[in-house]
Amino acid sequence: MNYVEKRISDLKQYLPDRTAPADLEEFWDRTLREASKRELKDTRESVQGLSSYINYQRVTYEGFDQTPIHGWFLTPAFAVEGPLPCVVLYHGYTGSKGLPEHHANWLLAGYAVFAIDVRGQGGETGNLLPQTYGMTRGWITQGLLDPERHYYRAIAVDALKAVEWASRQPEVDASRIAVAGASQGGGLALIVSALSDIPYKTVADVPNMCHMDYGIALSTSSLVEAADFVSRFPEHLDTVLRTLSYFDMLNLYDRLKAPVLVSVSLKDTVCMPETIFSVYNRIEAPKELIVYPFNGHFTSGDHFGKQVEFLRRG
């Protein structure tokens, strides 16, 4: 057995303890009940774009609160009649929904696309979530001392409402809505699939929001912001770890039912392989793993082709 094989073999045996708080199920059941009562208050507007082969729609909807979440709803203008499979896309940390043409690969593969901003980050979407305590930097420390008010709770509900919105569109086959993303987006895809019965498949590339007690200690991801917060306020370590535990897929993996495709890169210092394997190893739903031994925080080769093949299969 060579080194790479041994490394992968060891990671496949990695099963750290769960960190679930006693009221985890009650927290999410209540959150989902509250979210189900919130109207989307959505808008949808046709706009002109660069390509005559794309139908462009600007969308806003309300998720966790009154913040208008901005998105692109795109369909291939050359598609045959009938509802299309749809992929709901979540972006990485500090990113945005991007330009519509950035998603042309999905459209060429025959999918409708709903790409949304994560609130407050690099897109058009603001953030009305109250700030209840001082923040160090970035967004992860907003509400970090209370899971009810934490940023992750807001963006999780925003992401859940995105699949709800997609399921209501006449162009979309509601039985074939997939969720996909990388890094932060991969974590959101996983948590949406864990908390909603709408997605029929999940694609999570080098996902964040996994084994976050490990990540806050060792990774170079957005969790560095939480580590900086604890460095400044060391008396709040236990509270911070407890808050993060509500949104950690290590504690929510058993809610996953739909098939999952996960990628992991062994040289990734952002979403470290230990964090991803800790969740993947426990998933009981149908699952597939793609390992990139020599990559950092990215996939490579014909990874998009593997995603499409996974979604089309079965």
221 is catalytic: no
Strands, E assignment, 97-205: 112-116, 172-182, 201-205
Contact 54, 107 (CB under 8 A): yes
Are 191 and 152 spatial neighbours (Cβ–Cβ below 8 Å)?
Answer: no
User: Six-digit token pair at 27?
Assistant: 């927290």
- Of 158, 205, 213, 268, which one is the catalytic site residue? 268
Say if CB 226 and CB 216 are below 8 A apart.
yes
Has 280 been labeled as part of a binding site? no
Q: Is 52 a catalytic residue?
A: no
Q: Which of 70, 91, 150, 297 is catalytic?
A: 297
Helix-helix angle 151-167:184-195, to 10 degrees? 70
CA-to-CA separations, 101 to 50, 106, 116, 163, in angstroms, rounded: 8, 10, 14, 21
Q: Which of 183, 219, 222, 263 is catalytic?
A: 183
Active site (annotated) includes residue 297: yes
Distance between CA 12 and CA 285 in Å, rounded? 16
From the annotation, which residues make up the binding site for substrate? Answer: 93
Instruction: Give catalytic residue positions.
Output: 183, 268, 297
